Structure 1
Amino acid sequence: MKSVVIFLIVLITSALQFFSNNDDYTQTTPLEESIKRGSEIYQDFCVSCHLPTGEGIRKTYPPLAKSDYLINNRTASIKGIKYGQQGEIVVNGQKYNGFMAPMGLADDEVADVMNYISNSWGNKNDNMVTEAEVSKIEK
């Protein structure tokens, strides 16, 4: 019995040392996790129009990079991702009057992609978009 207790103490001590000294072990915040998931969603649904750099295509697809519209119009930006976008908007002083089809994303996916784009390419937003916030936005 005494040897079993000693074995368990050694095992637990080893495990604690491993996790406290292991450079591969990192702790992430919920925002960082959301941004990572949002990056994958962006690659699947958004990159063909807004490009890998988030710069869009001038006069056709608005930029997400350093986008005043994205940062200053949070609800409208979420609504555009959730339901699609139609009609004139002004982004960084340039008018866009196009159509973005709804992507069919779930509320958690909309939140993740919104967190990704609002924290990429010169954008910074520590105020995390949540699934609950997205669910309250109506068409």
Structure 2
Amino acid sequence: MRILSLNLCLLFILCACNSSDKRMAQNTTPMHQDFSEGKEIYNGFCMQCHMPNGEGVPKAIPPLAKSDYLINNRLESIKAIKYGLSGEITVNGKTYNSAMAAQGLDNQEIANVMNYITNSWGNKNTTLISEEEVSKVER
């Protein structure tokens, strides 16, 4: 009986430690995070305008590569994908004034593509965007 209690206690501790590691992995960017789902979404919805390398189109479509706007305006970037964007924005010191339509993606897809673009082409985002965070973003 004593051995059984000890084994159950050890099992509980191991499970608790393992689940904690999984929660941390969802909120931070591990060194080898897989952004393949976000990349697929980018290729299907974003690449036509922002280009395969995320550099956009000069004077027309803002870059996502090394983008100060993308990193410094997390909420507005999520809003742009979720609800669309119109009006002037400044990206890397240059002004853009073109419209972007809402992409029709669900909250998880938006989180996936945001995590991909905020960790590609010279961007570094140490706090991953979750589906829950996207769901709380309002117009």
TM score, norm. by length of structure 2? 0.77
Q: What secondary structure does 2:109 align onto? A: helix
AA matched with 1:97: N
Task: Provide the C-alpha distance between the structure 2 equivalents of 1:111 and 1:83, rounded to a whole number of angstroms.
Answer: 14
Task: Provide the C-alpha distance between the structure 1 equivalents of 2:56 and 2:137, rounded to a whole number of angstroms.
Answer: 25
Task: Provide the C-alpha distance between the structure 1 equivalents of 2:89 and 2:95, rounded to a whole number of angstroms.
Answer: 6
Residue 83 of structure 1, CA deviation: 0.7
Task: Provide the C-alpha distance between the structure 2 equivalents of 1:64 and 1:129, rounded to a whole number of angstroms.
Answer: 16
| Counterpart in the other structure of 2:136 | 136
Task: Provide the C-alpha distance between the structure 1 equivalents of 2:115 and 2:36, rounded to a whole number of angstroms.
Answer: 9
Residue 126 of structure 1, CA deviation: 1.6
Q: What secondary structure does 1:100 align onto? A: coil
| Counterpart in the other structure of 1:97 | 97
| Counterpart in the other structure of 1:20 | none
Task: Provide the C-alpha distance between the structure 2 equivalents of 1:137 and 1:59, rounded to a whole number of angstroms.
Answer: 28
Residue 36 of structure 1, CA deviation: 1.4
Point out the structure with max Rg over C-alpha. 1
- Deviation string 1:100-127 (CA, Å, 9 cap, x unpaired) is 0011000000000000000000001020
Task: Provide the C-alpha distance between the structure 2 equivalents of 1:65 and 1:41, rounded to a whole number of angstroms.
Answer: 16
AA matched with 1:132: E
| Counterpart in the other structure of 1:117 | 117
Task: Provide the C-alpha distance between the structure 2 equivalents of 1:59 and 1:75, rounded to a whole number of angstroms.
Answer: 24
| Counterpart in the other structure of 1:12 | none
AA matched with 1:119: N
Q: Verify: 1:82 aligned to 2:82, yes or no.
A: yes
Residue 94 of structure 1, CA deviation: 0.4
- Deviation string 1:16-72 (CA, Å, 9 cap, x unpaired) is xxxxxxxxxxxxx55524x21100000000000000000000110000000000000
| Counterpart in the other structure of 1:11 | none
Over the residues paired in the alignment, what is the CA RMSD in angstroms?
1.0
Q: Verify: 1:54 aligned to 2:50, yes or no.
A: no
Task: Provide the C-alpha distance between the structure 1 equivalents of 2:36 and 2:48, rounded to a whole number of angstroms.
Answer: 19
AA matched with 1:74: R
Structure 2 gaps of 5+ residues are 1-24
TM score, norm. by length of structure 1? 0.77
Which one has the bigger strand percentage? 1
Task: Provide the C-alpha distance between the structure 2 equivalents of 1:36 and 1:112, rounded to a whole number of angstroms.
Answer: 9
